[in-house]
Amino acid sequence: MALSLAAAGCAPAAAPAGPAPITASVDRLLDSLPLRDRIAQLVVPWIAGGYTAFDEAAFSRAVMWVDSLHVGGVIISIGSPLDVAARLNHLQERSPLPLLIASDLESGTTFRLVGGTPFPPNMGLGASGKELDAYEVGRVTALEGRAVGIHMTFAPVADVNNNPANPIINTRSFGEDPHAVARLVTAAIRGIQEHGMYATAKHFPGHGDTGTDSHIALPVIGADWARLDTVELVPFRAAVAAGVTAVMSAHIALPGIDSGRTRPGTVEPAILTGLLRDSLGFTGLAVTDALNMGALVSTLGPSEAPVLAFLAGADMLLQPADPAVTIDAMERAVRSGRISEARLNRSVRRILLLKERLGLFTRRVVSLDSVPAVVGRSDFLAEAREIAARSIVLAGDSGGAVDSLRAAPRALTLVAYGDETSPTAGAALAGELRARGHRVTLVRLAPASGPASYDSARTAIAANPLAVFAVAIRASAARGTIGMPAALATLIDSTALARPAVLVSLGSPYIVAETPHVGSYLVAWAANAISEQAAARALSGAAITGRLPVRVPPALPLGAGLDRPELRRPAP
């Protein structure tokens, strides 16, 4: 195999801004690749990011995908920055061609890198309303991600979250105003792509108005063209205008624009070709959402889904159930004439050009020594603290409980609820409240908590004059629902009837609808240390300026939020 462009070294962080001409060297390389190797360039499987030995079974399987199948890239999941960088370097060194490394770095690398800078989720940025905040999150994401060897982020989320019951988008969206979302999507793309990383707008043509998780089953959106054109497509049109590198398809059915059919948009030419390329004029890389998700494999199977997605207009086939099965199915489709070689070559060329623009044919590995100098560094953390402070929303304080806390330190009971994705929710909030002089009794609840735990919580609540509930509920793949356990909602609501109480959301803003008697509601967006500390400072006198970027039925309109100026209190 003639690999005239291939070499190894340290990857630069050159900004992938602007389209690049088709180079003769890429064309020569493309012509030299056998059919299966060209197909393999389209296939990008998922690998774990945590530490294991290189001969561990799962990682050995990933090595086989690189060594034997010659896949075009990998999607890296959760791990420490050094573990991720070491894994990716090892795979890059073994790969015949450089790998394009991608990851879901939504609202910062902390989404996947344990130790990355923790920003609020996109909806928190929508609450601040500042395009510069979205740009800066994109900038830091690119710098931290490139430091560990990641070249493409599957972000920003461009969905308009106009369905409070959406179990999978929620705070991953910037909000429900299409034009506000478009402005922040554009800023995020610029921040990412001007600092060396490729951005991906997702989930096309819009996953915000669904009540079904596409990881489980096929969501159906009944919108017609006029509705899509004025709501869902507004941020995607802005992303295309901003020069976004890639657009990811959504596994959703749109019978209103698909002649009444209910099949995933990922495999529908009217969506990926007709709508995305012809109507929106997108000329970049079209990528599928994960091909092993229930919305696809349950109806189409692991062999047919990737072929249909490619025929529909996708260039890159992400996270197939079995990469070898996918390559085999695609080879059969090409050899039978179902897929033309010209069509295949167009997609392969797009991918090779992205690799060339990144300089991967010259240098493809990163320096492990430089990772700690970039990921989670102090100026990034300081910026995250400022953005988190601007994201805090005081959605209501009819009983004055928040103003009481802000006026002077109080004795309070903090009841913290976190699920398996946020088992330490409330810890940083409690620590910062104590540092601000409040006398805090901390009680923890979890999904497994039974009646005895709730009885203990009631006893602790009764011992102090004020209660604060910190609740971390966020969208989680394959869960299918989003909301508080009934026992928790009952505890919060009954407490609010009996004594001053504050509900602090460390995730979904919609949970207050489950507690109609709560009058004091603070939205802090995330169960990470920086957002929790920002919430504690807001409860202790820091300025509060955020606005809800979504409606929260039945009572809170779009833009709801009470301003509070900074209060100067003596240090405890």
Q: What are the residue numbers of the active site?
A: 215, 289
* Whether 145 contacts 101, CB under 8 Å: no
d(CA 108, CA 121): 8
- Could you report how far apart the first and last alpha carbons of the chain are, in Å? 70
Q: How is residue 176 written in tokens?
A: 């429900």
CA distances from 556 to 395, 396, 509, 519 (A): 8, 9, 10, 12
* Whether 392 contacts 544, CB under 8 Å: yes
* Whether 260 contacts 268, CB under 8 Å: no
d(CA 490, CA 423): 21
The CB density around residue 543, as the number of other CB atoms within 10 Å, is: 14
- Alpha carbons within 13 A on the beta-carbon side of 130: 14
Pairing of strands 152-153, 200-204: unpaired
d(CA 174, CA 157): 8
* Whether 249 contacts 282, CB under 8 Å: no
Q: How is residue 259 written in tokens?
A: 């002649």
Q: Would the CA dihedral through 546, 551, 552, 556 be positive or negative?
A: positive
User: DSSP secondary-structure letter at 100?
Assistant: E
